[in-house]
Amino acid sequence: MAFNAAKIHGNTARIFVGVTAPTTGLPPTLLTHTNGVPGTGTEVGYTEDEAQIRYKAEKQAIPAEQALANVDVMTVSEMAEIEVTVKEHTYATLQRAFDNVGTVSDGSKDLFYMGGGTSILQPRTECVVLTSRQRNAPTKFIVLVLYKAYCEEGYVTGYTKKKEAVYKLKFVGLADGSRSDGDQLGQFFFEK
């Protein structure tokens, strides 16, 4: 195998929430964008450190009484998520962090009020997108789309004079049963 430094990736990422998911199918229709920006949705803005993406298909070995070694393996679950540390405190990003509590945004304030009492808080689910310009092909992007994701972390931040008040947004993908089998969690692609 020959070495190829052009295959080494590294660059900043941009995160968008509330994006319209691309059409389903096998293979799926790829998310369209202009210069890394989808046609719909809101960008989360400035972030700190790296944006992390995780995907895992969890496997379980299958034992059989007639063999000492496992005889096969099967996939028992799969997960995908995007995690980012946000610097900007905007109404859109705080809505995701507080996740479906009462909100008011007017000329004098952005307000989030909580305490469900006897009501059931329905978590927000939405399409979340990460785009990253390819280091050696600046007109091409790496794109990750979670078709239906919820924000898991909540709002945790510290206020100090030593650094900015930041908070995490961790988007966890769910299977979208309205999409085709095999295309329910998301897509990840490198443009060529």
Q: What is the DSSP track for 42-66?
A: EE---EEEEEEEEEEEEEEEE--TT
Indicate the length of the chain as a whole number: 192
The enclosing domain of 115 has a CATH number of 2.30.110
For residues 134 and 140, is the Cβ–Cβ distance under 8 A? Answer: yes
Closest C-alpha among 24, 43, 32, 23 to residue 141:
32
Residue 182 to residue 178: CA distance in whole angstroms: 12
Number of domains in the chain: 1
Name the DSSP letter for residue 121. Answer: P
The pLDDT assigned to 119 comes to: 73
- What is the reported pLDDT for 6? 83
Tell me the C-alpha distance between 115 and 34, whole Å.
41
Q: What is the pLDDT of residue 108?
A: 96
**Whole-number pLDDT of residue 8:** 87
- Please list the ranges in the chain whose pLDDT falls under 70: 118, 120
User: What's the confidence (pLDDT) of residue 30?
Assistant: 97
Q: What pLDDT does residue 115 have? A: 84
Q: What is the pTM of this model?
A: 0.91
Q: Cα–Cα distance between 102 and 111 in angstroms, integer?
A: 8
Pull the structure tokens for residue 184.
Answer: 């329910």
Q: Which domain range does residue 100 map to?
A: 5-190
pLDDT given at position 144: 98
pLDDT of residue 121: 77
Position 100 scores a pLDDT of 79
